[in-house]
A and B are shown apart, each in its own frame.
Chain A
Amino acid sequence: MNPILFDLKRSILSKSFIAILVMMLALSSLVGYFIKKITGVSASGNVISQEILFLTAIAIILGIFIPILGLLMGYFYYGKDRLTSVLESVMVQPVTKMRILLSRFVVGVLAVGVAALITIVVMDGFAVSYMNFSMPLDFIASLVAAYFVEAAFFVGIMILLAHVVKTPTALLSLLIVIFLLLDMFYTTIVQIVIFAINPSNISTFMLDSYIVNPTYYSLITSYVFTKEISVSVYTVVAAGLIWTIVPVSLALYLGHIRD
């Protein structure tokens, strides 16, 4: 069996993958159900389309879970294996360390991408059957592409950090810190910074703060389509390339120079 297929099967059948996928599907379905129930009328009386509410809700749910899944895939299928010596039994096989690192990175990104794709496709089916609309194809494509970028960053950063720390506990602690800082409390942190430095143009500052955080990459990507906030395609592409390439490249470098 091809070792990459084996790794992919192992990660997709893992408890962490299945648990997060189930949570994403359950939460998205639940949110869709409530959106349908409240029939899309906001408290102020402005009509908000069910479609926009539902798409936004899915983007938010995936925006929370995709980084966790990326971090967990990087942790379980490279970081922990490396720090508990499990990877040594693979390193003695006829394969280079760089290839092991890259293949685990690709497998992690693919697994996260598969989870995002499954969620979006299932939710599209949900929207068609329950809410009588279909998600726009360009929305699906851009969202999936954006989640691949986020996955690449979070899997890559775990692989990179596995070459810096010495124990699985330290790596797990960093995983939690990264998740809390970049995902859960980022908006709060930005608001505190805005309050502290009082920038001249708050909306530009907010946009910049989103661009420098890969967790918000899908949101930035969606601005290209919705034109809600003006952001250039070049900026989005450049940010995507940076988040995809930089962490894994640094990890490759450290993997090459360190044991």
Chain B
Amino acid sequence: MIEISELTKSYGRSSRPAVSNLSLTVNDGEILGFAGLNGAGKTTTIRVSAGIIYPSEGSVRFDGNDIVKNKTGASRLIGWVPELPNFEPNVKPLDLLIYYAGFHGISRTESENRGKELLTQVGLDGHLNKKLREYSQGMKKRFSLAAAMISNPNNYLLDEILNGLDPEGIKYVRDLILSFKKEGKSILLSSHMLNELESVADRIAIINKGKLVRIINRADLKSTGKFTVTVQVQNPDDGVMNILSKYGKVEASGGRFIISELNGKDAGVTGEINSELISRKYVVSGINTESEGLEAFFFRSIGDGQ
């Protein structure tokens, strides 16, 4: 379990905190998506959590171990994948994995076997004799995943893990993250790719200008209170626009009308629209509602937060 409590991180006295009073919990077996614009504070939160930089205030605990007060104990429980992996360039991947495993007290034989297994798993088995300076960004990302898994930790901090990966890599990582979840691990997954977050995360935390704007369950995205109504009319004319514009903002394309910004109305409005159109002799061939996606919800949320 990852517990971030009232975390604040300032880089300078005069500047706005990069992260301000942020509290999050990632439960065991849960994927928490972490969404925000560039500079929102996602990477800073992950770097503080990983023990790379110190928090200005607040704490981060992994299964009860504080990353500042008990750095060694907490770090044993973390797998970290950075946004832009940067490793010692003149070393071969397996040697570096064995080096990292040494910090976890894993024997050379065990770490060598596990390292080979992981490098094969992440698709680098054909590149074991190359030094890391010869690796592409995508290969480094795959290597950083192997490095994160070397000690089989309970908690993962994944910072923009999908950036720099090819479609096959994205699918592999998505499946891997879901397998972590099945194993009961806690995953904090930061990403710009909102559709990817939407497809794997159990909850999504939206951060803007260092502050947590809101956390939403993936299931709740279907009932965020925001939706559009699509109406199909077989005999459309200007009168349809006049009727529908009473309910919200209307966009028309042939016989298809999309009504958005239905503030203050619930999904029951479709019956009302249907009745009114039929009473005016229009032939309604279809009418349905659609919830806004994460992207629309995200932009609306950070708009609220600004």
Contacts and interface: CB of A to CB of B under 8 A. Distances in A.
Interface of A: 1-3, 6, 10, 14, 81, 84-86, 88-97, 259
A91 B52 contact: yes
Contacts of A2: 102
Shortest 10 CB-CB contacts between residues of A and residues of B:
A93-B103, A259-B53, A94-B75, A94-B76, A94-B72, A92-B80, A3-B102, A85-B86, A6-B99, A92-B50
Nearest to B95: A6
Given A6-B102, A89-B88, A95-B72, 4 more contacts: A3-B103, A90-B103, A95-B103, A259-B54
A88 B86 contact: yes
Contacts of A81: 88
B159 to A, nearest CB: 11
A101 to B, nearest CB: 13
B260 to A, nearest CB: 44
B85 interface: yes
B128 interface: no
Contacts of A90: 100, 103
28 contacts: A1-B98, A1-B99, A1-B102, A1-B108, A1-B111, A3-B102, A6-B98, A10-B90, A81-B88, A85-B84, A86-B89, A88-B50, A88-B52, A88-B82, A89-B85, A89-B86, A89-B87, A91-B52, A92-B51, A92-B52, A93-B75, A93-B100, A94-B72, A94-B73, A94-B76, A96-B71, A97-B71, A259-B53
Contacts of B47: 88
B189 interface: no
A86 B75 contact: no
A93 B52 CA distance: 10
Contacts of A91: 50-52
B104 interface: yes
Contacts of B73: 94
A104 B79 CA distance: 23
Give the interface size bracket for B toward A. 20 to 34
Contacts of B86: 84-86, 88-89
Contact of B103 (A85, A88, A94): A94
A86 B91 CA distance: 12
Interface string B84-119: 111111110001001110111000100100000000
B231 interface: no
Given A3-B103, A94-B103, A94-B104, A89 B72 contact: no
A92 B78 contact: yes
Given A85-B86, A86-B86, A3 B53 contact: no
A95 B72 CA distance: 5
A2 B85 CA distance: 23
Nearest to B82: A88
Contacts of B87: 86, 89
B161 interface: no
B147 interface: yes
B273 to A, nearest CB: 55
A36 B80 CA distance: 60
Contacts of B85: 89
Contacts of B99: 1, 3, 6
Contact of B75 (A3, A6, A95, A259): A95
Most central of A1, A96, A97 by chain B CB within 10 Å: A1
Contact of A10 (B91, B100, B147): B91
A60 B88 CA distance: 34
Nearest to B80: A92
A233 B34 CA distance: 62
A126 to B, nearest CB: 32
A240 B51 CA distance: 35
A94 B95 CA distance: 18
Nearest to B48: A259
Interface string B156-199: 00000000000000000000000000000000000000000000
A46 B98 CA distance: 61
B76 A89 contact: no
A43 to B, nearest CB: 48
Interface in B64-84: 71-73, 75-76, 78, 80, 82, 84
A14 to B, nearest CB: 8
Contacts of A84: 86
A233 B98 CA distance: 45
Contacts of B100: 89-90, 93
A51 B91 CA distance: 43
Nearest to B71: A96
B248 to A, nearest CB: 49
Contacts of A6: 95, 98-99, 102
Nearest to A95: B103
A92 B157 CA distance: 11
A141 to B, nearest CB: 33
B286 to A, nearest CB: 54
Contacts of A86: 86-89
Nearest to B106: A1
A3 B111 CA distance: 13
